[in-house]
Amino acid sequence: MEYLIKNLRDIKLEGTHELPDSRQTLLNKEELGSESFEAFTKGILASGRIWDWHNHENIYEFFIVLDGIGSIEFEDGNIHEYTKGDIVLIRPNYKHRILASGSNASEFLFVRLK
């Protein structure tokens, strides 16, 4: 297939990191047909919720904060207070967790690459 068109409203919400309805998989590796591409997702983290400690084995993860505020905690003890517009890169196998605060849900676009 030379192209693929989808609409966000047609993509079902799924659970991730033990939170139901917190992710939409926008593109997966089968759709892209690349060995280095893992996924392109939209994450929705309700205020007060946490995607708890995790890492992505052999996967680079980068994301853009579309909306919301909160913090990203890293295994070395560093904490970054995120806000709309932040771009974050996390190298493979590095533990982190994301906490949403404020009055609105946080929204992110994630890309995962090998």
pTM: 0.93
Give the per-residue pLDDT at 2: 86
Q: How far apart are CA 82 and CA 70, in angstroms?
A: 5
Domain containing residue 35: 13-113
pLDDT truncated to tens, each residue of the chain (114 aa)?
A: 689 999 999 999 999 988 999 999 999 999 988 889 999 999 999 999 999 999 999 999 999 999 999 999 999 999 999 999 999 999 999 999 999 998 999 999 999 999
Q: What angle do CA 68, 109, 55 make, to 5 degrees?
A: 95
Short-list 47, 57, 53, CA closest to 112: 57
Domain assignment present for 5: no
Give the per-residue pLDDT at 82: 98
Short-list 27, 23, 21, CA closest to 43: 23
CATH of the domain at 90: 2.60.120.10
Is 97 in contact with 54 (CB distance < 8 Å)?
yes
Give the per-residue pLDDT at 102: 87
Question: Token pair 């996924």 is at which residue?
Answer: 39
